Amino acid sequence: MKRTIVLGAAVLLVTSCARAQAGSSPSPAAPRAAASLPHDRHEGLTVSADPYLEAARAKEKFGKANPLPVGILPVEVFLLNETAQPIRIPLNDIQLVIHFPDGQHQNLDRLAAAEVAGVVANPGGSPTPHAPRFPVGLGGGADRKADKLAEILVPLALDADIVPPKAAIHGFLFFNLGRDISLGRDASLYLPEATTLPSNRPLMFFEVFFGAPAQP
* Domain harbouring 199, CATH code: 2.60.40
Full domain range(s) for residue 194: 27-112+157-209
Mean of pLDDT values over 91-104: 93
For residue 86, being part of any structural domain is answered with yes
Percentage with pLDDT > 90 across the chain: 66
Helical packing angle, 113-121 and 144-153, nearest 10°: 130
β-pair partners for 107: 97
C-alpha dist (Å) from residue 107 to 20, 21, 115, 148: 39, 39, 19, 30
Neighbours of 142 (CB within 10 A): 10
pLDDT of the residue at 140: 41
For residue 132, being part of any structural domain is answered with no
For residue 126, being part of any structural domain is answered with no
Write the DSSP string, 64-87: GG--GGGTEEEEEEEEEE-SSS-E
pLDDT at 130 exceeding the cut of 70? no
- Specify whether the CB–CB gap between 202 and 194 falls below 8 A: yes
pLDDT of the residue at 135: 41
Residue 49 Ramachandran class (φ > 0 left, ψ -120 to 50 alpha, else beta): beta
Whether the CA torsion 95, 100, 105, 108 is positive or negative: it is negative
Residues in the chain: 216
For residue 105, being part of any structural domain is answered with yes
Q: Which residues have C-beta within 8 Å of that of residue 94, sequence separation ≥ 6? A: 77, 110, 173, 189, 190, 191
For residue 185, being part of any structural domain is answered with yes
For residue 11, being part of any structural domain is answered with no
Cα separation, 58 vs 146, whole angstroms: 18
What does the pLDDT look like over 31-40, one tens digit per residue? 545 668 999 9
Cα separation, 135 vs 97, whole angstroms: 31
Total domains in the fold of the chain: 1
- Specify whether the CB–CB gap between 178 and 17 falls below 8 A: no
What does the pLDDT look like over 51-65, one tens digit per residue? 999 999 999 999 999
pTM of the model: 0.77
For residue 76, being part of any structural domain is answered with yes
Phi, psi at 112, each rounded to 5°: -70, 150
What does the pLDDT look like over 156-203, one tens digit per residue? 999 999 999 999 999 999 999 988 999 999 999 999 999 999 999 999
For residue 125, being part of any structural domain is answered with no
